[in-house]
Structures are given as structure tokens and as C-alpha cells.
Chain A
Amino acid sequence: MDAFAYTRADQPERAVRLAADPRARYIAGGTDLLNLMKDGVQRHDHLIDISALPLADVRESGGRIRLGALSRMSDVAVHQAVRRRLPVLSQALLAGASPQVRNMASLGGNLLQRTRCWYFRDPTMPCNRREPGSGCPALDGLNRWHAIVGGSDHCIAVHPSDLAVALTALDATVRTLSAEGPREIPMAGFYLPPGDTPHLETALRQGELITGIDVPVTELAAGSTYLKVRDRATFEFAVVSVAALVRLRGEEVREARLAFGGIAPRPWRSEAAEQALIGRPLNAATIEAAGAALVRDARPRAHNAFKVPLVQRALSDILGQFGRNR
């Protein structure tokens, strides 16, 4: 790791002022940033430690649960209101990383963790996301982990965050602070599609600080769940994952919101799959139709075609749970 200067910020405004310099970068838990810096994927001259900012609380107010950006994955996962009202969020957090990492990692940092694409993480390889214009070796290379939907001819990396998948299904909003003041960014617009600029990953501007995440508390959210399929039982990133919010009346699906991990460069909400469910009885035929709608535009590569049936089975499995719990 190259040397850098270090500052601990005690107030968000001060952190934002310091981060106006493009050579500076925030460090929260450090669990992704330090790996990237050790590997030489990123270099920063100045780290601004935001871990002590007073933004680590979880509160319920005005029909929302408000999560501080510096709250830790482990604390949010076991918070009573989160467990009860947003089970998918608690489950997605507990399915991520390890107990030790969850004690360190912040929600803001989790949203901004970078892809685990092995070419991206290896600075000796070309990669459009790391070095714009250098090429994408994953397209014709080892792409077992990579995207089957939403990719481009410039990048097919998948976003690794479980949290982001849950928050996408929950229709959460990211709160930020920058030199221009505070603003709110809906999850649906937070991550940018790769297109021909995969190095531009989020809607955040230089030095913009995530201060919190607001999640609406709804009846739909109370009946939500997360399923993560991994190469080993635990402590591994998702091969595919599903966050499902479903409200039934009798057999009939009244409302549904579905987001998927491991299949796209950003958390993947499938309105097509949702529409295939809403207003219909939750039976095998509807579930199959929802799965088919989900992968209609899938574009698998040489080594990841298995994800097409796998994600449909994951969807079928999680929807089956709703049927059984009715």
C-alpha cells in the first residue's frame, strides 16, 4: 500500500469540505477500500476517516426506518425494528461476509464496495471499469461470475452487495451531503448501467458523502425475505440472490417487488417478473411465467449460462416459501 495522509473527521460538513479534493477518499470500515489499495487497484493520497461521524443510528420515524450511513452491518441486522418490519434487510445483511467483517463494515461502504470481477481486482490485467478504454477480458474469458442481464459490450461485472439488492426491492432512498447541500437519491437511480462508461458506477459526485438510507415501512415490506445461493454454505458472495416482497390475499398475489443479485452490474429489479405475478394465483404456472419473464432478455456468456436456470429456480424457491407461509 502506498503512503497516504490521514484525517479523522468529526462532523459530516467537515468531511465533505476535505473530500472536495479529488485526491482524497473516505474510509469507513476500511474492509473494501484497504483491500483495493493493497492490491494496487486504487491509490489515494489522503484518507478521510468518517468512521466516527455521528451517523451510526437507526431510527423509526414518519413511516420510515432511517439508517445512518455509518451504522454497522451487524448492528442493523439485529435491530428490532429492522428484523420485524424489514426482514429482507436483516436477512441480506446476515447473509453477507463474516461476523468480523459485519462488525466493521458500514452500510454506506457496503453500497460503494466495488465488483469482485477478478480482472478488475488484478491491476496487471486490462479492465474498462478500472482503466477506461483498456478492454474487458471477461467478455471472452473466465466469466462464470459475470452478468447475464444488464451488461454491455464494455463490462459484464456483477455488483456484489447483498444489502443493495434488499434496498432495491424495498424502494429505499439514499441520503447524501455534498458542497451543494443535502439531496436524496432513490435506489432505482443510484447505480448507473455500465454502457460505454463502466468506470462511472453511481450517481454520487466527487466527495459526496452518504449520510443515511431511508426505507419505507409498509405492509409489503413486513412480508419480505432473502435467498442467497452460494458456492459454499456461507461466507461467500452470491452466485445469484433474490429479495422478494410479496403480499397475498388468499391465493392471489396483490403486490410483489423482486430484486436480484449476482446476475447484473447493478441490483436488478424485474418489473416484468413482478407483473407476471400480480393479480394471479401463486401457483406453479404463475411462478414459471415470472421466471421466464425475468430471463427473457438474458445474454449469458461461455461460462455463466447455468445462471439462467439457477436464478429462475431461486425465484421459484422463494415464491414457494410465500405460498407455504400463507
Chain B
Amino acid sequence: MSEEDPTRRTVIKVGAAVAAVATAAPALPDVAEAKAAVTDTARISLKVNGVTHRQELEARVTLLDALRERIGLTGTKKGCDRGECGACTVLVDGRRIKSCLTLAVMQQGREITTVEGLARGDALHPVQAAFIRNDGFQCGFCTPGQLMSAVACVHEGHTGSDDEIREWMSGNLCRCGCYPNIVASVRQAAKEMS
């Protein structure tokens, strides 16, 4: 039987190799067995803030849960777990995404940046400094997501006006209603980073 034969369910196992998953798994006659294989043995490696983390985890673990529960980077927050609040925003290869809506296993080989990766030692990222100076938060729960989104928003060049900032920050909700100060923070950060 060729490796391509679907009845052999070739690739069920998540390989340790970055690129793919096509480890030479034993023939898996049915899905129940396939499941067991993946739940027991998935080994993945994630590069977060420049550090490679090797983890054993199930395919169903989201990037958000892998970051928080496995790697221990709890700066990234879980608000809704449904893509609606933006608290879980991280950068993947420089682009902002919602980490609750992707699987950790899908993000192998990419550069993931979380809020912990913004500061350089004691020197805050200009976006972080701008949020402090402008009082861009109250309880702070949404803030890591706001910061990651703001970094991307500035790099994307979506800071031409307050309206543009509001539109392009709209994927991040703030229950404390700090929106005016968040807009001011992004405006100031954009000026300083230009």
C-alpha cells in the first residue's frame, strides 16, 4: 500500500519535525486508533518570542491554551474563546491573529510574539509606554490584546485619523470602556514610532 492510500490514514501522528506530520505512523485501521495515536504522542515545537518550546500536546489544543497552560506565558488572555473579544491577540510572523481560533499544531515553524515579547529588558515598547501615559486601560484584562493589536495597527499604517484607529482596533473589546484613551495611546505610539 502506498503512503498516499487514504485507508492507511498516513499522517495522523503529529511529527516533531516542523514542516509536517507525515511521520511513518503504523497502519491505523480506524479513527479510534488514530485518535489514540494523536492524543498520546503529538510532539510539536513552537517558537515564541524567539525561544523554541517543545511540547507534547493534543491536536485540539488551541494556540491560546498552549501559550497559557503549557508554556506558561499567561500574558495572553482568554476572554470569549470564540474570536469575539480580541484579548488573545498575538502576532504570527508579524501579523495579528486571534490565538483562540487556531490550533497550536498549525503554527509550527512560525514566529509567534506575545505581550511578553514586546519590551526589551526594562525598556517598554513605545506602544506599552503610550498606554501608560494615556491611561489606556482600567482593569487591564483586555490590555495585552489591545497592545498586540496596536503594535500591528501602527505597523500596518492604519493610524491616519482617530476614525481609522477606531476601525482598525475594533477587533479588541474593552469592557471598562477605555476606548477614548486607547485611541489616544495608539495615536501617540504611531507618532513616536514613525
Contact = CB atoms under 8 A, between A and B. Distances in A.
B43 interface: no
B171 to A, nearest CB: 3
B101 A5 contact: no
A104 B35 contact: no
A101 B11 CA distance: 28
Given A31-B101, A100-B97, A234 B170 contact: yes
Nearest to B58: A3
Contacts of B100: 34
Nearest to A44: B31
Given A5-B37, A46-B12, A101-B171, A21 B153 contact: no
B11 A45 contact: no
Interface residues of A, number: 38
A103 B102 contact: no
B57 to A, nearest CB: 11
A241 B69 CA distance: 41
A263 interface: no
Contact of B60 (A1, A18, A104): A1
Contacts of B4: 14, 17
Interface string B1-21: 000101001111010000111
Interface stretch (B45-53, B82-90, B113-121): B82-90
B132 to A, nearest CB: 23
Interface in A36-95: 38, 45-47, 49, 51, 74
B31 A10 contact: no
Contacts of A17: 4, 6
A100 B82 contact: no
Given A47-B59, A98-B171, A35 B95 contact: no
Contacts of B9: 5, 46
Contacts of B62: 34
Nearest to A13: B4
A37 to B, nearest CB: 8
A5 B103 contact: no
B66 to A, nearest CB: 14
B141 interface: no
B153 A99 contact: yes
A4 interface: yes
B96 interface: yes
Contacts of A5: 9, 12, 31, 34-35, 37-38, 59
B187 interface: no
A277 B74 CA distance: 58
A99 B168 contact: yes
B129 interface: no
Interface in B55-111: 58-60, 62, 81-83, 86, 89, 95-98, 100-103, 105-106
Contacts of B38: 3-6
Interface in A212-269: 233-235
A104 B20 contact: no
Interface string B149-166: 100110010100000001
A2 interface: yes
B181 interface: no
A34 B81 CA distance: 10
Interface in A99-113: 99-101, 103-104
A5 to B, nearest CB: 4
Contacts of B134: none
Contacts of B135: none
B188 interface: no
Contacts of A160: none
Nearest to B7: A21
A2 B60 contact: yes
**Residue in A45, A100, A235 with the greatest tally of chain B CB atoms within 10 Å:** A100
A17 B105 CA distance: 21
A73 to B, nearest CB: 12
Q: Across chains A and B, which 6 residue pairs bring their CB atoms closest together, nearest first? A: A98-B171, A6-B59, A7-B11, A45-B31, A5-B12, A235-B170
27 contacts: A2-B60, A3-B35, A3-B39, A5-B38, A5-B59, A6-B12, A7-B10, A7-B11, A7-B22, A8-B21, A10-B20, A17-B4, A17-B6, A29-B102, A31-B101, A38-B81, A45-B35, A46-B34, A98-B83, A98-B172, A99-B156, A99-B168, A100-B97, A100-B149, A101-B83, A104-B97, A104-B101
Given A18-B10, A31-B101, 4 more contacts: A34-B62, A34-B102, A99-B171, A104-B98
